[in-house]
Amino acid sequence: MAQKDNHKLRIGIVGAGNIVRTRHLPALKKNSDAEIVAVSNSTYESSEQFCKEHCPGATPMANWADLLAVPDLDIIWIGTPPYMHSAVTISALEAGKHVFCQARMAMDLAEAEEMLATTKRFPELVTMLCPPPFGMRADLLVKKLLADMLNVLCVFENGAEGVLEFSGVHAGAPNDRLRIFGERGALLYDFTNERVRSVKYGGREMEDLDVPKELITEWRVEDDFINAVKSKGRVRPRPNFEDGVRYMRVVQAVADSRAANEWVAIKK
């Protein structure tokens, strides 16, 4: 879609639930290059209430398909549950709109692949999936440290080969966290309080690890997407639909494995 100089990017929101209100709306309202002009929630009444409370200048709409027909709309911001993501995304792209979509990308791998295929039909349009709202501050640090660590490959006495991976999921767990064990030590990243701790091999207790300023990342998803749209294709934000399809391959494999009660290979 061609954009005029000094033209505010006009946004239509489809699905104005809690994630949109609490996570995206504050940043979008602060962005001088963005303007929310239309909102379609689950009912017209809820759309009207959202506009009244948060975007008085926006037009409430009962039907998301009608929202796509709003003149000069640049961006569709999808905040619906996953069962609507595919239909809204494909329709929006075919209508010439840039798309920001919540994760999970789709209901299944087939829908995700269809969404990705549609983006390739319209390479001039920017698409982005919402990243997780946790674990951003030290993400780059953990990646840097991982580059210096080795995975543990094992050969058991009975001849079986394997890769050791540890995961703890149980009721009453205090926080979401990432634990990494390597031959040189261990790393613990607590997503809830953004605390990173480590211990070297032979050590007894974990110690806090400072995150260098140049490696700290913060939540700026809305600005990243708006800037990518303004760049007219020069910048592509992450995670993109390619990332989303890779994630959906894992989700699909889990579902298939459970149904068949057997191992399922994930194709790249």
Longest dimension (CA), the chain: 70
DSSP code for 21? I
- Tokens 């640049």 correspond to 74
pLDDT tens-place string over residues 39-52: 999 999 999 999 99
Distance CA 46, CA 13 (A): 13
- Give, as one character, the DSSP assignment of residue 45: H
Q: Which residues of the chain have a pLDDT value below 70?
A: 1-6, 134-136, 145-148, 150-174, 268
* Of 133, 127, 130, 132, nearest in space to 241 by CA: 127
Identity of the residue numbered 66: D
pLDDT (tens digit, 9 = 90+) per residue, 173-211? 567 778 787 778 888 999 888 899 999 888 889 999 998
Here the tokens at position 208 are: 């806090």
Report how far apart the first and last C-alpha atoms of the chain are (Å, whole number).
32
**What is the pTM assigned to this prediction?**
0.70
Structure letter (DSSP) for residue 134 = S
Task: Give 53: exposed, middle or buried? Use CB within 10 Å, 0-12, 13-18, 19+.
Answer: exposed
